Amino acid sequence: MLTYATRRTILAIPTLLFISFVIFMLLQLAPGDPMAQVPLTVPPDVKQKMREALGLGAPPLVQYWKWLVQVFWIEPQVLIDWIFGTSLAEGKLRVISWQTRSPVMDIILQRIPQTLWVVGVAYVVAILIALPIGVYSAYRQYSVFDQAGTFVTMIGFSIPPFFTGPLLIVIFSVISLETWWLPVLPSIYDTTHVVNDWQSFGFQVKQMTMPVMVLAFQITAQLSRYMRASMLDNLGQDYVRTARAKGLSEAVVVNVHVLRNSMIPVITVIALGIPAIFGGAIITETVFKVNGIGQLLLTALFANDLPMVMTLTFIFAVLIVVFNLIADILYGLLDPRIRYD
Amino acid sequence: MTDSPQDDLILAASSPQAIGALTDDGPVAPPTSRGRDIWSQFRKHKGAMLGLGFLSFITLAVLVGPYIYTVDPQKLDIRAKDFRPIYTALWDSSAKVGWNKPLGSDQLGRDNLAQMLAGGRASMAVGWAAMLLSVLIGTAVGVLAGFFKQLDGVLMRLTDLFLALPILPLLLLAVTLFRQPLRAGFGPEGGMFILIVSIVAITSWMPTARIVRGDVLAIKEREFVLAARSIGSTPGKLIRRHILPNVLSPILVSAALGLATAIITESALSFLGVGFPSDFPTWGKMLADAVQRMERFPERVMLPGIAISLTVLSVNYLGDGLRDALDPRIRGR
């Protein structure tokens, strides 16, 4: 197991380097010019100097190398400085955003809490809803509950978030104003809101409700399918019959014996979904105006802010590779039948 | 053994008469072909039949509709802007409605029904083309990786690499990067069509490739392939005549799921404002444009949204039914 984990970790490094190289070279083809917003009165030779000041004069490979150094050498130093109060990165150039002229990592750190709150809470809510639904619909296969569950899951798969989002806004922010029985929820997420007492906490819950509902609906649909399929696989096994035959109660058989074994693939699926939490739900964040990571990527793309796009996409790729690795190792650890070596 | 009449006679004479319940005069029903079996199993799946019906309806509507309802979807008629759909008159007699605009018009006076038909055409065309391309790439990679051992490692590492890419950010990236050159080369609509189809296909072929490779690996070891190889079939013939027909069912299922993903991805791109040019109607763009005015005109959000959702829902149910019908373990039960 350890050798497998080590081998996979070592293999992940060239993969990530290759991905970063591919993304960088893709961005080199970008037609956009960071000087497009500079007034026309600025003479062309000055503009050229400004471009060179951004590091655009150097050949692509040199630029790529400098980006690598900044991300893998200077940014960790900044992190160490921040934790221990040292001054390792003093005066060294960090990855700078072309939009704001401030370090990319600082902006990302400002945006991450919003994304984590909304998308992370949605993920937890979805897990809490999906697992019982999956277990019960497998236990009563083809019952009314199972059929209804299948139908709702199908809908969850099929309705895209850019429709459920506006739909919820129409119901809870427009129609609810005229009726007394629907709660009125804010359609725009206020990021500057500070939670310091019960009332502000209540408002935070209210403004998180709709984006969390949209995201949780989708995630629930997928997870409950996996849970159901995995439970169905295990319910037919011989050890279940043995457990029943030795007189265990039905609750123990299902909730202890079958559930524990069925959770193995589901846990890996949950681990595989975690990068999406950090990656942010670009569409949901756009619909509810949450200024998280996804929205940051979108605005950076439209503004031709290549260092920001490059760093964000690379962070997403790192998360995906790392959590793939974690999922594979978890699978091996949880299921003793699986041997990688 | 018991094929010839003489054997039957000998058996009948030597063995005692079987009890009445066990004697069969012959098969009850004539033997049926595989296609007919699949169809009869498929028909039992109500959701899949409904899905097939709705998908055929919407495909026909967007194909034939613009010839029947010949209003130009891009024509601006600013005097007739902000019409409500005709059914609004049922509960709101003061609403601005007109029989010449059955589903109303938008803020620039463009006819909603004509836009829905044209938008559906774009969405379905992108969906089908991207799905076909993605299935083509996925099948090719899967068959090559499964059949030729030397290629297996390389191609599967490539698949893993693509699976490790963050898809939606990369899609957005590719669209913003290549929009200008392709528009210059193929015109605004043609360029975007090629771009969206190719990037959706390039980022969605991996599941098909993995499934096909797994199946090819299993089928390759079967006796009939060995027999075909022993009579001197070339690898190309082997793949075309013996292997491809046997992996057709997983390919069909992943094609159905691919169609659903492609339609959603295209709409998502249009919704984020990086899809087709702004005067070219698609369902995703109609939805995105309507979001700002949804307090006053909720139908402009609902119509394209319901169209996208129902199409994708019916394709998903179709895929579900296909999977059951094509699986010989489920069929006939």
The minimum CA-CA distance between B303 and chain A, rounded to whole Å, is: 10
d(CA B18, CA B15): 8
Instruction: Over range B107-117, report the average pLDDT.
Output: 80
Q: Is the pLDDT of residue B333 over 70?
A: no
Q: Going from the N-terminus, what domains does chain A have, and what CATH number goes with each?
A: 2-27+106-334 (1.10.3720.10), 32-94 (no CATH)
* % of chain B beyond a pLDDT of 90: 5
| Chain B residues closer than 8 Å to A27 by CB | 173, 177
**Domain that residue B113 falls in:** 44-74+103-326
Tell me what pLDDT residue B15 has: 58
Query: What is the predicted pLDDT for the residue at B13?
Result: 53
Based on the number of CB atoms within 10 Å of its own CB, is B78 exposed (0-12), middle (13-18) or buried (19 or more)? exposed
- Summarised one tens digit per residue, pLDDT across range A145-174 is 988 988 888 888 888 888 888 888 888 887
The distance of B188 to chain A (nearest Cα, Å) reads 17
Give the one of B164, B173, B176 whose C-beta lies nearest to A19's C-beta. B164
Show Cβ contacts of residue A269 under 8 Å, excluding neighbours closer than 6 positions. Answer: A222, A223, A226, A327
Hey, which residues does B283 pair with through a beta bridge?
A: none
Burial class (CB in 10 A: 0-12, 13-18, 19+), B96: middle
Kindly write down the DSSP assignment for every residue of A208-228, as one continuous string: HHHHHHHHHHHHHHHHHHHHH
> Chain-wide mean pLDDT for chain B?
80
Encoded tokens for B127:
């969906």
B298 touches chain A (CB under 8 A): yes
State how far residue A148 is from chain B, nearest Cα, in angstroms.
13
Asked, for residue B216, whether it belongs to a domain, the answer is yes
Q: Which residue has the tokens 């457990």?
A: A243
Q: Smallest Cα–Cα separation from B257: which of B208, B212, B209? A: B208
So what's the pLDDT on residue B1?
A: 41
Provide the ipTM.
Answer: 0.78
pTM across the whole model: 0.81
Residue B150 backbone dihedrals phi, psi, to 5 degrees = -65, -30
Q: Decide if B309 and A158 are in contact by the 8 Å CB cutoff.
A: yes
Q: Rounded CA gap, B79 and A82, in Å?
A: 62
Q: Is residue B27 part of a domain?
A: no
How far off is chain B from A24, nearest CA to CA, in Å? Answer: 11
Residue of A nearest to B168 (CA): A282
Question: B293: which 2 tokens?
Answer: 């005015």
Which residues from chain A sit within 8 angstroms of residue B127, using beta carbons?
none
Q: Which residue has the higher pLDDT, B175 or A258?
A: A258
Residues of chain A with Cβ-Cβ distance to B268 below 8 Å are: 160, 162, 283
Nearest-by-CA chain A residue for B173 = A301
CB contact, 8 Å: A13 with chain B?
no
Q: How far is CA A41 from the centre of its chain?
A: 43
Task: Give the residue carrying structure tokens 């850019």.
Answer: A162
List the end-to-end C-alpha distance of chain B, in Å, as a whole number: 30
Does A24 reach chain B within 8 Å, measured CB to CB?
no
Q: With contact defined as beta carbons under 8 Å apart, do B152 and B141 qualify?
A: no
Residue B9 lies in a domain: no
More reliable by pLDDT, B14 or A120: A120
Size of interface A-B (CB pairs under 8 A): 115
- The three-state secondary structure class of B105 is strand
Instruction: Spell out which residues of chain B touch residue A157, defining contact as CB-CB under 8 Å.
Output: 260, 312, 316
Contact list, A32 vs chain B (CB under 8 Å)? 176
**Is residue B5 a part of any domain in this protein?**
no
- Domain for residue B28, yes or no? no
B124-161: b (≥16 Cβ within 10 Å) or e? bbbbbbbbbbbbebbbebbbbbbbeeeeeeebbeebee
Collect all residues of chain A within an 8 Å Cβ-Cβ radius of residue B284: 162
pLDDT in tens, chain A (341 residues): 788 888 888 888 888 888 888 888 877 776 666 666 677 788 888 878 877 777 677 778 888 888 888 888 877 777 888 788 777 767 777 778 877 888 888 888 888 888 888 888 899 999 999 999 999 988 888 889 988 988 888 888 888 888 888 888 888 887 777 777 777 777 778 777 777 888 888 888 888 888 888 889 888 988 888 898 888 888 888 899 999 999 889 888 888 889 888 888 888 888 888 887 776 678 888 888 888 888 888 888 877 788 888 888 888 888 888 888 888 888 878 877 766 65
Taking a C-beta distance cutoff of 8 angstroms, is the pair B243, A257 a contact? no
Give tens-digit pLDDT for B181-240: 777 777 777 888 888 888 888 888 888 888 888 888 888 888 888 899 899 888 888 888
Cβ–Cβ contact B301 with A under 8 A: yes
Helix (H, G, I), strand (E, B) or coil at B101: strand
What CATH number has the domain bearing residue B186? Answer: 1.10.3720.10
Q: Which residues contact A148 (CB under 8 A, 6 or more apart)?
A: none
The residue type of A102 is S
Within a domain: residue B39? Answer: no
Are A119 and A215 in contact, with CB atoms under 8 Å apart?
A: yes
Of A18, A160, A287, the CB nearest to B267: A160
For chain B, say whether A286 makes contact (Cβ under 8 Å): yes
CB distance from A21 to chain B under 8 Å? Answer: no
Give the confidence band of B16 by pLDDT, cuts at 50, 70, 90. Answer: low
Q: Is residue B116, in this structure, part of any structural domain at all? A: yes
Q: How many domains does chain B have?
A: 1
Please judge whether B166 and A316 are an interchain contact, meaning their C-beta atoms are less than 8 angstroms apart: yes
- N residues, chain B: 333
pLDDT tens sequence across A183-213: 777 777 877 777 788 888 888 888 888 888 8
- Which of A18, A286, A320 is closest, CB to CB, to B272? A286
* Among the listed residues B267, B172, B254, the one whose alpha carbon sits nearest the alpha carbon of residue B212: B254
B289-319 pLDDT, tens digit each: 888 777 777 778 888 888 889 999 998 888 8
- pLDDT bin (cut points 50, 70, 90) of residue B64 is confident
Q: What was the pLDDT predicted at B17?
A: 65
